[in-house]
A and B are shown apart, each in its own frame.
Chain A
Amino acid sequence: MKQEFREFISGFNDEIVDEVSAFGIQLQFLEDVKDRMRIIGINQKELSEKMAVHPSFLSNVFNGNKLLNLKHIAKIERILNIDISLALISESNIIMLSSSEVEYNPCALEAGETLKKQLKDEITKLTESIADIKKDSPDSKPKAA
């Protein structure tokens, strides 16, 4: 979870902040899992059977109400035939789950995209400001005859 969002909810108690943070860590991982499930043609019910968990548990995980533990993740790794690892993104101190099936680091890619967008926005704003200054400058106004 990004620091800005953590700051936004910092008035809530630690238990709630941690629960939301854990949900955030799990969020993108589950999207990757769903993609993999689609590829290999397995549905949620079949996955729950193979994991030996109740289907409602998995529904709750996907609904955002329950969290997977590392044993569940290891089962997903085995069933979906992927390599999952915990990675520390040192710059932002985020621990993320990554899978070897994904050929890029989604977190780093996203950070790069965000930075690119921020720079692009800044350039647009600066260009607009320059245009405004030029418009308002006495040189640009038509001189009285």
Chain B
Amino acid sequence: MLIEEVNYQEISPKFNASEVIKAKFLLYWDSRRKKEILSAIRKNDQRVVHFIKILLFLYERKENQYKKEMYREENDGAPNQVVAMKFLGNAAIFGNLRIYCQEHKINGKYHIVMSRVHVKQGEKNQAQERKIIGNIAKEKYIQDILEIELKKRPRRKI
């Protein structure tokens, strides 16, 4: 299994272990890059607060709504399920950080896999970013998402 569901308390123990947020969307991380993702978000308090704002946007978002400054689709016109959580603002705090994700909508609910951390360095690295985005698009997370969902279903007694 490449992914696991995010335990918000690993990001900060101040998050309540509430299931309520999961009613709106489910967040996962790529297990191979979990440490990297955690360390990027927890680098300072402002990043954690910004991450909470992204969660609030995702919690309240309308159908197919994106916010280009914070959570946007990353494609060249052709759907590829890749989106980016953006940490824009003071470079010393946010470091122009992106968390590239793969997003799937299953039965009306969004399933978002945080896949890779990337620090955007001006316009010159666009080719490199396109390569990263292309690689994320190829990840077969959907199979793991469906498997995790299947395991959650109550088993019928025989």
A interface residues (Cβ-Cβ under 8 A, vs B)? 1-2, 4-5, 7-12, 16, 19-20, 23-24, 27-28, 31, 59-60, 62-65, 110, 117, 132, 136
Let me know if B21 is at the binding interface, CB within 8 A: yes
Is B57 touching A11 in the complex (CB atoms < 8 A)? no
A contacts with B: majority SS: helix
Let me know if B33 is at the binding interface, CB within 8 A: no
Is A62 touching B69 in the complex (CB atoms < 8 A)? yes
Let me know if B56 is at the binding interface, CB within 8 A: yes
Is B70 touching A11 in the complex (CB atoms < 8 A)? no
Interface core residue of A1, A12, A16, A117 (most chain B CB under 10 Å): A12
Minimum CB distance partner of A11 in chain B:
B14
Q: State how many angstroms separate the Cβ of B151 from the closest Cβ of chain A.
A: 19
Chain A residues closer than 8 Å to B90, beta-carbon distance: 65
The distance in angstroms between the C-alpha atoms of A7 and B89, with both chains bound, is 27
Chain B residues closer than 8 Å to A117, beta-carbon distance: 108
Q: List 17 A-B contacts (CB under 8 A).
A: A2-B60, A4-B18, A5-B21, A5-B55, A7-B16, A8-B15, A9-B16, A9-B52, A11-B13, A11-B16, A12-B12, A31-B65, A59-B69, A60-B89, A63-B69, A63-B89, A132-B156
Is A8 touching B13 in the complex (CB atoms < 8 A)? no
Chain B residues closer than 8 Å to A62, beta-carbon distance: 69
Q: State how many angstroms separate the Cβ of B21 from the closest Cβ of chain A.
A: 5
The distance in angstroms between the C-alpha atoms of A8 and B55, with both chains bound, is 11
Chain A residues closer than 8 Å to B57, beta-carbon distance: 27
- Tell me which residues from 83 to 141 in chain B have a Cβ below 8 Å from any Cβ of chain A: 86, 88-90, 108
Query: Quick one: which of B59, B69, B70 contacts A5, CB cutoff 8 A?
Result: B59
Query: Quick one: which of A7, A24, A28 contacts B20, CB cutoff 8 A?
Result: A7
Chain A residues closer than 8 Å to B53, beta-carbon distance: 20, 23, 64
